Amino acid sequence: MATATTHGARDHARAQAGTSTEAMPVVPAADWPSPPCAAGHLVWAETVAGGNYTHRVLARGTELRLTDLRGDACAHLVLYADGRPWERLNTADTVKVQWNAYLSKGRLLLSGQGRVLATLVDDTGGRHDALCGTSTLVRNTERYGDGAAGSPTPAGRELLTLAALKNGLEPRDLPPSVAFFQRVEVGDDGSLRFTGSAGPGASVTLRAEQDLIVLIANVPHPLDPRPQYTSTPLEVLAWRAAPTASADPFWNATPEGRRAFLNTAGFLAAKERS
């Protein structure tokens, strides 16, 4: 085999330079063919295959757009304040503080400290899931025969664990995630019903309100009833922008949201160095 020796393996690896696949990062991001922002502002451009994951550290003010290219992606998202991993996405507070079980344009992703991690500034799908979290090793093994990260049917938690480790985080640091594009409805009796895809081309855009560690796993929703592991590519684009300001309608949309923005602004002002 050509790769049976060190020199052969090196030559084989170098021969792959310049080749591409459907799902991979574009480096530099500026080479993305149709950026959604001003020239030179794109900082992250990637297509994440079904059953795969990605991660990145984003600066405050960065906007992150996720797009379900074919209608069967499901983006399981976890956020941390960069440098302060104990401040992380709190799905319970995100739901209860805003009096709403569904994520859509204008909703805030909150930390357990009552501060805003990200704002949903655009959304073409609506009613995304903040209740169910992601799939687990045990559940995927029961359903598909395996759920390990290296298997054909990896669980979301296993992939998010790998992404966390690559950012100096441990499994105990993983909170429940939110899920975009595959939706769930809450019945009058509190039961949860899977209602399916937001459709091919659906997208959400998040604005980072703090410096963030972003973890994403693209795997089937845990309530997806289909017997086959079904997950299609997810497009991830991020670009430099500005954080939400006090005159922005998102800041003042609700009393609870305004308080969360004030908590965030006060905290960030106190930690800034003159």
Q: What is the pLDDT of residues 139-151, one digit of tens each?
A: 999 999 999 999 9
Average pLDDT, rounded, for the chain? 94
Give the pLDDT score at 3: 73
Q: 259 pLDDT band (50/70/90 cuts)?
A: very high
Whether 125 has a pLDDT exceeding 70, the answer reads yes
- Of the two residues 204 and 126, the one the predictor is more confident about is 204
- DSSP annotation of 49 reads P
| CA nearest neighbour of 238 among 60, 80, 2, 12 | 60
Using 50, 70 and 90 to split pLDDT, how confident is the model at 27?
A: confident
In 132-267, DSSP assigns E strands to: 178-180, 182-186, 192-197, 203-208, 212-218, 234-239
The β-bridge partners of 118 are 109, 208
Half-sphere exposure of 34 (CA within 13 A, CB side): 1
Provide the β-strand partners of residue 59.
none
Whether 141 and 229 have beta carbons less than 8 Å apart is answered as: no
Q: How far from 217 is each of 163, 203, 237, CA to CA, in Å?
A: 9, 16, 15
Average pLDDT of 41-56? 97
What does the alpha-carbon distance between residue 165 and residue 270 come to, in Å, rounded to a whole number? 30
DSSP 158: H
Which pLDDT belongs to residue 274? 52
pLDDT above 60 (res 42): yes
pLDDT of residue 23: 80
Residue 216 and residue 47: Cα distance in Å, rounded? 12
Longest CA–CA span in the chain (Å) reads 66
Beta bridge partners of 78: 215
Residue type, 187: G
Model confidence, pTM: 0.94
Task: Read off the tokens for 273.
Answer: 């160095």
Burial track 76-86 (b if 16+ CB lie within 10 A, e otherwise): bbbbbbbeeee
Round to whole Å and give the CA distance between 265 and 115: 9
CA gap 67, 74 in Å, rounded: 10
In DSSP notation, 67-132 reads EESSS---EEEEEEETTEEEEEB-HHHHHHHTT-SEE-TT-EEEBTTS-EEEEEEEESS--EESSS
- Which phi and psi angles does 161 have, rounded to 5°? -65, -45
pLDDT confidence band for 19 (50 / 70 / 90): low
